[in-house]
């Protein structure tokens, strides 16, 4: 005689349903499953109807939360109405991950326009830094974070380029004003920044060669 799957009460003393639940748990579970099934359907429908990407993600998150609980019931042998909760959960996760990645890419395009419109280096860096925080949130929510990690690398590379360009521009202004001591210091800071960031891609190698060439040309 099996015990209740939810509360563990003994089947010797209490009636156990075919789903393995006592009457009390069967009643409460039925109510919970019905409510969560309805909430998952409503959230999925709301995600389909809204055009705002962030609203879509929020609605899909609500659907996923309810489907996860339904799938947990299913693993205990307690079925959900309307088919496999585990399969619905898999499809919803896949849809959400595609949406998050598509949204991140679209937001990056918009970010690049805003960065180009800014004149000050620190303002550009602030935009990139804020977007990096959002990408980290996206990355943590995905089953496969590699595509977001690739976007993060591009954004981080943009920060490195902006800071390097700012240092080199200052160094050149110092050269133009015949302040070679300051120019040498700034070129050195640029090289140190490259080393600190561990930038070893072809673009960084080219930057390093140009900066070293500028240093060698200083009187």
The DSSP result for 25-88, as a single string, is HHHHHHHHHHHHHHHHHHHHHHHHH---HHHHHHHHHHHHHHHHHHHHHHHTT---TTS-HHHH
User: In this predicted structure, what is the pLDDT of residue 13?
Assistant: 61
Look at residues 99, 126, 142 and tell me which one is the last residue of a structural domain.
Answer: 99
Burial classification of residue 143, based on how many CB atoms lie within 10 Å of its CB (0-12 exposed, 13-18 middle, 19 or more buried):
exposed
CB 157 within 8 A of CB 197: no
Question: Same domain, yes or no, for 125 and 202?
Answer: yes
Tell whether 109 is covered by a domain: no
pTM (two decimals): 0.73
Last residue in a domain, options 52, 72, 99:
99
Residues 78 and 163 in one domain: no
Please provide residue 50's backbone torsions phi and psi, each rounded to the nearest 5 degrees.
-80, 145
Residue at which a domain ends, from 40, 70, 99:
99
- Residue 8, in any domain of the structure: no
The pLDDT score that the predictor gives to residue 211 is 84
The owner of tokens 């789903």 is: 19
Task: Say how many domains are in the chain.
Answer: 2
Residues 213 and 136 reside in one and the same domain: yes
Which pLDDT score is estimated for 118?
A: 92
The reply to whether 6 falls in a domain is no
Q: Are 129 and 209 part of one and the same domain?
A: yes
pLDDT at residue 11, rounded to an integer:
59
Cα Rg of the chain (Å, integer): 28
Residues 171 and 92 grouped into a single domain: no
Minimal CA–CA distance to 76: which of 143, 14, 7, 13?
Answer: 7
Which helix (H) or strand (E) segment holds residue 159: the answer is helix 146-176
pLDDT tens over the chain, length 219 residues? 577 776 766 655 667 777 777 887 788 888 899 999 999 999 999 998 998 988 999 999 999 999 999 999 898 888 888 788 899 999 999 999 999 999 999 999 999 999 999 989 999 999 999 999 999 999 988 888 888 998 998 898 888 888 888 888 888 888 888 888 888 898 888 888 888 876 556 667 777 888 888 788 887
What phi, psi does 84 have (nearest 5°)? -70, 120
pLDDT at 30: 87
Tally Cβ neighbours within 10 Å of residue 135.
Answer: 21
**Is 107 within the bounds of a domain?**
no
What are phi and psi for residue 66, nearest 5 degrees?
Answer: -75, -40
pLDDT at 123: 94
Confirm whether 44 is domain-assigned: yes
Q: How far, in Å, CA of 179 to CA of 18, rounded?
A: 87
Largest CA distance in the chain: 96
Six-digit token pair at 192? 């140190």
* Domain-located, residue 7: no
pLDDT confidence of residue 113: 94
Range of the domain at 74: 16-99
């Amino acid at each position: 005689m099996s015990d209740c799957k939810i509360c563990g009460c003994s089947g010797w003393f209490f009636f156990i349903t075919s789903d393995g639940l006592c009457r009390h748990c069967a009643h409460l579970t039925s109510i919970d499953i019905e409510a969560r099934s309805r909430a998952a359907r409503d959230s999925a429908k709301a995600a389909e109807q809204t055009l705002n990407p962030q609203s879509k993600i929020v609605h899909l998150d609500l659907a996923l939360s309810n489907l996860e609980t339904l799938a947990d019931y299913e693993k205990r042998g307690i079925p959900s109405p309307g088919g496999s909760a585990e399969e619905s959960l898999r499809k919803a996760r896949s849809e959400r991950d595609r949406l998050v990645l598509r949204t991140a890419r679209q937001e990056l395009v918009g970010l690049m326009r805003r960065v180009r419109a800014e004149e000050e280096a620190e303002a550009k860096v602030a935009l990139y830094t804020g977007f990096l925080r959002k990408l980290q949130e996206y990355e943590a929510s995905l089953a496969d974070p590699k595509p977001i990690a690739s976007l993060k690398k591009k954004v981080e590379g943009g920060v490195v380029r902006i800071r390097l360009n700012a240092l080199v521009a200052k160094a050149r202004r110092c050269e133009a004003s015949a302040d070679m001591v300051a120019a040498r210091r700034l070129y050195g800071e640029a090289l140190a920044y490259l080393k600190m960031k561990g930038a070893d891609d072809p673009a960084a190698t080219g930057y390093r060669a140009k900066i070293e060439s500028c240093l060698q040309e200083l009187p």
